[in-house]
């Protein structure tokens, strides 16, 4: 059975969920209970390719988490090719 609720028993971990669509990117940071701690959106003026937009969304989300001292993160996204590239 699939679950849409993220959970992690370790209190120091945060989930980072990013989205890249058209000319906006954003992310939501959840705590270990799945509660939203903060969110961010950013307008991107020019998009070359969807894969590039998704990769930029991951980068911006990680930078946002780092700026908030959320260093133990799990990144979740939609574009398999971006995540295959980062492995």
Predicted local distance difference test score (pLDDT) of residue 63: 93
Are β-strands 36-43 and 73-76 bridged in parallel, bridged antiparallel, or unpaired?
unpaired
In percent, how much of the chain has pLDDT > 70?
71
- Rounded to whole angstroms, the Cα distance separating 82 from 40 reads 20
Q: Mind listing the domains of the chain with CATH numbers? A: 14-86 (3.30.420.10)
* 37 Cβ contact partners less than 8 Å away, ≥ 6 residues apart: 14, 29, 30, 31
What are phi and psi for residue 49, nearest 5 degrees?
-150, 150
Beta strands in 1-87 (DSSP E): 14-21, 24-30, 36-43, 73-76
pLDDT higher than 70, residue 29: yes
pLDDT: is 6 or 42 the higher one? 42
């Amino acid at each position: 059975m699939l679950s849409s609720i993220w959970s992690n028993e370790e209190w120091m971990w945060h989930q980072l969920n990013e989205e890249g669509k058209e000319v906006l990117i954003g992310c939501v940071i959840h705590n270990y209970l799945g509660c939203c701690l903060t969110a961010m959106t950013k307008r991107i003026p020019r998009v070359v390719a969807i894969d590039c937009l998704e990769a930029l969304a991951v980068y911006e989300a990680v930078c946002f988490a780092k700026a908030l001292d959320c260093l133990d993160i799990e990144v979740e996204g939609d574009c398999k090719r971006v995540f295959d590239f980062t492995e």
